């Protein structure tokens, strides 16, 4: 299953704050025809954040939501220029954000993807490669190593 796309990778994004960054990522998914309503998906993302932070630690966040307005599973990846306060579980600021958009009916695939990304990012070398990547192609190649 192909879950990453070069078109959904943003490099050198400067994040002002968590909320505006998440809004921008949702808008990006909307402009790339992944979701049919930016407002509804943003609400779903924020509802998920209220339950528990998606800042998983080690400078990574994985905001995600399942929603009927999502056409197919897609993931936007933002590699930040700065480090963003994200209320992460380890208190560290975030450098890379994966926003996962999943159709309501795809719960099993959703769990596999979350698990695959989390396991991949637990490896220090994988995170370092992402943090230091200079091009979208480089990031895409790194992400292709994620098994789901």
How many secondary structure helices (H) and strands (E) does the chain include?
Answer: 5, 6
For domain 6-141, give the CATH number: 3.40.930.10
In degrees rounded to 5, what are phi and psi of residue 128?
Answer: -60, -45
Per residue in 39-55, pLDDT tens?
999 999 999 999 999 99
The whole-number average pLDDT for the span 1-22 is 93
The whole-number average pLDDT for the span 22-50 is 96
Residues 55 and 86 sit within 8 Å (Cβ to Cβ):
yes
Per residue in 79-127, pLDDT tens?
999 999 999 999 999 999 999 999 999 989 989 999 999 999 999 999 9
Q: pTM of the predicted model, to two decimals?
A: 0.96
């Amino acid at each position: 299953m192909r879950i990453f796309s070069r078109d959904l990778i943003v490099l050198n994004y400067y994040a002002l704050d968590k909320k505006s960054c998440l809004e921008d990522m949702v808008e990006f998914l909307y402009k790339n025809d992944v979701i049919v309503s930016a407002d509804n998906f943003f609400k779903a993302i924020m509802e998920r954040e209220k339950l528990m932070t998606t800042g998983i630690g080690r400078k990574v966040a994985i905001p995600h939501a399942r929603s009927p307005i999502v056409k197919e599973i897609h993931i936007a990846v933002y590699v930040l220029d700065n480090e963003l306060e994200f209320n992460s579980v380890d208190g560290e600021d975030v450098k890379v954000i994966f926003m996962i958009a999943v159709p309501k009916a795809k719960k099993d695939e959703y769990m596999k993807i979350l698990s695959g990304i989390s396991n991949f990012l637990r490896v220090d070398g994988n995170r370092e490669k992402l943090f230091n990547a200079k091009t979208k192609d480089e990031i895409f190649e790194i992400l292709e190593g994620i098994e789901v």
